[in-house]
Structure 1
Amino acid sequence: MELLDIARWQFGITTVYHFLMVPLTIGLSLLVAGMQTAWWRTGNERYLKMTRFWGKLMMINFAMGVVTGIVQEFQFGMAWSEYSRFVGDVFGAPLAMEGIVAFFVESTFLGLWIFGWDRLSKGVHLACAWAFSLATVASAYFILAANSWMQHPVGIEVVDGRPRMNSIWAVMTNNTVLAAFPHTIFGCFAVAGSFLIGIAAYKIAEHHRNSGHDDEDRKLWHGSMRLGAWVGVIAFAGLALSGDVQGKLMFEQQPMKMASAEALCHTEQPASFSIFAYGDVGRQNCEDVKSFTVPYILSYLANGDFTSEVKGVQALVPEYQAAYGTHYPDDARLGAFAGQPIDYVPNLPATYWGFRFMIGFGGMAALGAVAVLWFTRKGRFPKGRWWAPLAVASIATPFLGNAFGWIFTELGRQPFVVAPNPNPSGVDGVWMYTASAVSSGVTPGEMLTSLIALTAVYGVLACVEIFLIVRFVKGGVAATMPHEPPDDEKSDDDTLSFAY
């Protein structure tokens, strides 16, 4: 394997794994803050139990997200140092804001929330919950601003061949991040909603096996499941609306990515949306590809009308070659790519199926949420043995939808790591090929060693997280509520006694 291929596999594996934790942390932290608000307003102990139980699972996930996220920062220096040199003047600002502003606030108030149950007033403690929850959202915005600049560079000038930021406001209000941010947050809520549904369904089924009585715990799990279902339905509606906005922007900014997402090899007017295709999608002429399509829909998704033209891959390749060249620079740092022809077409099977898996798994999660609302109406719960295992399995659907969405977004940008603006003026006139971004001082053997080591460590961390979550889920509410000591063991000195 080439050095570039190994570096991309390494970054892809660690990024996708890390992003499994991110949406659950963001979505669940906001829901936990909402549960605590309900307890603060009503005094109902059921909401307190919900806050503590789901808060415990959120903390486990948060800790794993921090551990896996640190590696992402290191890779910019280890595997992608040429990229860091090129974009450091721009990329460093939102990353620094995420670390100094968002993460510090997030970790500080999370610590106060964890250890402040019996030491802070209810109002102050609730404020801590909202502070760290909103800080996770701010953290996501800063990271998305950095990623969106890679998708659509703005707010810079080129000095000595390198981009230099001249407007942080332009970077932070990039229309790409303004479209990506709500889509990402709705995705986080979809993950959290499905998480509530699956675990609550398991606990209700466990409750029926053990007792079958309609007690307070059953109401708690039933309420959690209904909450997750409503969150999932609303999240999917938000994903559909924000996805439409984001899709139209992608057709404008990265037409090759969206043509590849549809395996649209030839220009069509009006253009049909492909639901399913079979044949060799990887061939750029698509002559042997058969596709089930919906007429006119792709024209609407691209331009907001049902009659407009959508350019195909074969029409876009000459435009890209005319704008950005036909061959890589004859630079020794590019290794095997030096002086070679540039393939502007991303991996068609990966982009085509990634786009469909993103939509498909999101739709499955939404249908599951609707089914939960129907089957649990008026306090009911299905009695079949199939229900709980199916609900637990459904937890994976929004996770997979998020993962495939990011795979599509990043692979569809190739061969660029910083995608150029397609406007005739060039706007900021900056782009960078992925082949130019990888560290030139690292050997394939060293990169492969780090890939294997990181994958193995992440595998161990996955086992640890699953073990901890399963342990506390089985323990239920009792495992997360503080234990009152006997009266004869109580002491005035409770300095080291914590609620968690």
Structure 2
Amino acid sequence: MDVEILARIQFAFTIAFHYIYPPLSIGLGLIMVIMEGLYLKTGNKIYETMCRFWTKIFALTFGIGVATGIVMEFEFGTNWATYSRFVGDIFGSALAAEGIFAFALESGFLGILLFGWNRVSPRVHFISTIGVFLGSAFSAVWITVANSWQQTPAGYKIVGEGLQAKAEIVDFWAMVLNPSSIDRMLHVWIGAFLAGAFLVLSVHAYYLIRGRYVELSTKAFKIALGVATVFSLSQLFTGHRSAEYVAEYQPAKLAAMEGHFEAEGPADLYIMGWVDKESQTTTGIGVPGGLGFLLEQDFDAPVTGLNAFPEEDRPGQVNAVFQFYHLMVAIGMALIGLTLLACFFWWRGTLFEKKWLLWVFVWAVALPQMANQFGWFAAEMGRQPWVVYGHLRTSEAFSKVVTANQILFSLIGFTLIYILLAALFFYVLNKKIKKGPYDESKIDDRPLQEGIAEAVS
């Protein structure tokens, strides 16, 4: 393999592994705020206990997320020197803002969140939980702003020529509020909320099936189900808005997502299918003219296809973009169906009698993570051949002095390290889940809240 392909594989691998953890931290942060808020409102020790339990798991995801995220910053300099020079002024501002406004907030309150349960008042601890949640959410803002700028650049000027060219900010807020940043940020946030909610649903569904921590798990499951239902439905709207911006600012990406080749003509909206790039055909199940209706409310509305662009300006892996995009959409619809079905049984008062449904939730923990990954794959592969849309090609962005053997060696090394980190994460996570929120052996015939208070203390 050549340098470009290896550098892309390495960055894709490291960022895909890293992106497992920040969404969990953001989603768990929201759930913890709700749980602790209910404790302050009701005084019910059960809510405090479940929040203490999930704080431990939050700390685990936060630690692994920080460790795996640092690597990517070094890759910018080692493998993507031309790219780093071009976007340095833009990314430097965004990443500095993340450190000042997000990471400092999150890490500043993290110590109180983890170790302040018996050292500060419940209200102060609740404020620290909110601070950690907001810090993690703000981190996603600045990372998404930086990535969105690559998709829809704004508020900049180009200085220099050739390999010395770089983008400089002329309007900071135009850069931050570039055309795609708000909708993509909401889309990322909601994906994170779903990842955290489904982790909580999975663990407490497992406890309910096993008959452990029944009262606590019933309450925690309902909290997470409420969050999952609201945001799975909300994702429909943010996803649609993101697609509208892609149609306006990156029409070649949208054409690849739907396997649409005709330069100007009606485009089908596929539920599933297969794209043959060579014959320029897409076969599958779809709604004739559905993409035009989705964008313009007209089944006959023309949609710009791949043939409207020069060959060198089209995404190279059209079928891969198509599949990743449709897998993301399919999972999103499955999450809506699953949460609405659970809400129906909740309304009927039979939710926790459906063991088969609880087993579905145990394994559904992987679905939001898969949707998050597939969405990023579709977005980044669909942007090709550009690393900064319309300005810097991926083939021009990598370092000119690094060799393929050097990247391959570091890729193998990172793979081994990340396998160990994943094994450590799942080992510790499994250990904490088996241990549970409190020591069940200390709960006897006394009222549950009294027994929990002693077991936790």
TM-score by length of 1: 0.84
1:376, distance to aligned residue in structure 2 (A):
4.2
SS at match of 1:454: helix
- One-letter code of the match for 1:65? G
**Who is 1:235 aligned against?**
231
Correspondence for 2:277 among 240, 264, 283: 283
Structure 2 CA distance for aligned equivalents of residues 231 and 389 of structure 1: 19
Are 2:411 and 1:451 aligned?
yes
The question of whether the paired residues in 2 share the 8 Å contact of 1:10 and 1:451 is answered with: yes
Q: Deviation digits for residues 89-143 of structure 1, max 9, x if unmatched?
A: 1111101111232111101101121111122122111111111111111111011
Q: Is the 8 A contact 1:32 1:55 kept in 2?
A: yes
1:357 matched to 2:327? The reply is yes
Q: Deviations over 1:278-297 (max 9, x none)?
A: 4xx2425424x423221332
Matches of 2:399 and 2:276 in 1, distance apart?
29
Match of 1:366 in 2: 336
Residues 67-466 of structure 1 aligned to structure 2 (within 5 Å)? 67-161=67-161, 162-207=166-211, 217-267=213-263, 269-278=265-274, 281-287=275-281, 289-317=282-310, 342=312, 344-377=314-347, 380-382=350-352, 386-420=356-390, 431-466=391-426
- Aligned-partner SS, 2:272: strand
Secondary structure at 2:285 match in 1: strand
User: What letter matches 1:396 in structure 2?
Assistant: A
CA contact (8 A) 2:289 2:300 kept: yes
1:221-243 Cα distance to aligned partner (Å, 9 max, x none): 11211222221121111110011
Measure, in 2, the Cα distance between the counterparts of 1:389 and 1:122: 35
Give per-residue Cα distances to partners, 1:358-377, cap 9 Å, x unaligned: 11112222222223223444
Deviation at 1:379, TM superposition (A): 5.4
Measure how far apart 1:79 and its partner are: 1.1
How far does the alpha carbon of each residue in 1:49-74 deviate from its partner, in whole angstroms, 9 at most, with x for none? 11111221111111111111111111
Residue 42 of structure 1: aligned partner: 42
* Mean CA deviation greater in 363-372 or 250-259: 363-372
- 8 A contact 1:37–1:126 mirrored in 2: yes
Aligned residues: 440
**CA–CA separation in structure 1 for the residues paired with 2:439 and 2:76:** 40
1:316 Cα deviation from its structure 2 partner: 2.5
| Structure number, greater radius of gyration | 1
Alpha-carbon distance in 2 for matches of 1:46, 1:225: 13
- Cα distance, 1:317 vs. partner? 2.6
Give SS of 1:290's match.
strand
Equivalent residue of 1:417, what SS?
strand
Q: Aligned partners of 1:479 and 1:351: how far apart in 2? A: 48
Residue 478 of structure 1 aligns to a residue whose secondary structure is coil
Provide the C-alpha distance between the structure 1 equivalents of 2:315 and 2:192, rounded to a whole number of angstroms.
30
| 1:226–1:372 Cα contact (<8 Å) kept | no
Contact persistence 2:315–2:381 (CA under 8 A): no
Distance 2:358 2:229 in 1: 19
**8 Å contact from structure 1 (residues 77, 84) kept in 2:** yes
Distance 1:302 1:442 in 2: 44
Would you say the 8 A contact 1:260–1:346 is kept in 2? Answer: no
2-structure distance, mates of 1:478, 1:206: 15
Residue 268 (structure 1) shift: 5.4
Following superposition, the deviation at residue 22 of structure 1 comes to 1.3
Task: Please give the secondary structure, in 1, of the residue aligned with 2:167.
Answer: strand
Question: Percent of aligned pairs with the same residue?
Answer: 32
Q: Aligned partners of 1:364, 1:54: CA distance in 2, in Å?
A: 26
Other structure's SS at 2:293 match: helix
Of 259-268 and 194-203, deviating more is 259-268
SS at match of 1:158: strand
- The AA in structure 2 aligned to 1:350 is A
- Give the superposition deviation at 1:378: 6.0
2:129 and 2:355 map into 1 onto residues whose CA distance is 37
Deviation track 1:197-251 (CA, whole Å, cap 9, x = no partner) reads: 111110111226xxxxxxxx31211121122222112111111001111101001
The aligned amino acid for 2:304 is K
Q: Higher mean Cα deviation, 119-128 or 407-416? A: 119-128
The one-letter amino acid paired with 1:224 is A
Structure 2 Cα separation of the partners of residues 306 and 343 of structure 1: 27
Structure 1 residue runs of 5 or longer lacking an equivalent are 209-216, 319-341, 421-430, 483-498
Equivalent AA in structure 1 for residue 34 of structure 2: G
Inter-CA distance 221–379: structure 2 relative to 1 (3 Å threshold)? farther
Residues 371-418 of structure 1 deviation map (CA, whole Å, 9 limit, x = unaligned): 322344465455566444432211001110010000000000001000
Partners of 2:347 and 2:203 in 1: CA distance: 18
Q: In structure 1, give the amino acid aligned to 2:420.
A: V
Residue ranges of structure 2 left out of the alignment (5+ in a row):
443-455
Deviations 1:308-339 (A, max 9, x none): 21021112337xxxxxxxxxxxxxxxxxxxxx
Structure 2: distance between partners of 1:415 and 1:186: 28
Q: CA deviation at 1:448?
A: 0.4
Aligned to 2:284, what secondary structure does the other structure show? Answer: strand
Distance 1:410 1:357 in 2: 15
Cα distance in 2 between the residues matched to 1:97 and 1:276:
41
Q: Over aligned residues, Cα RMSD in angstroms?
A: 2.1
SS at match of 2:273: strand
3-state DSSP class of the match of 2:316?
A: coil
SS in 2 for 1:276: strand
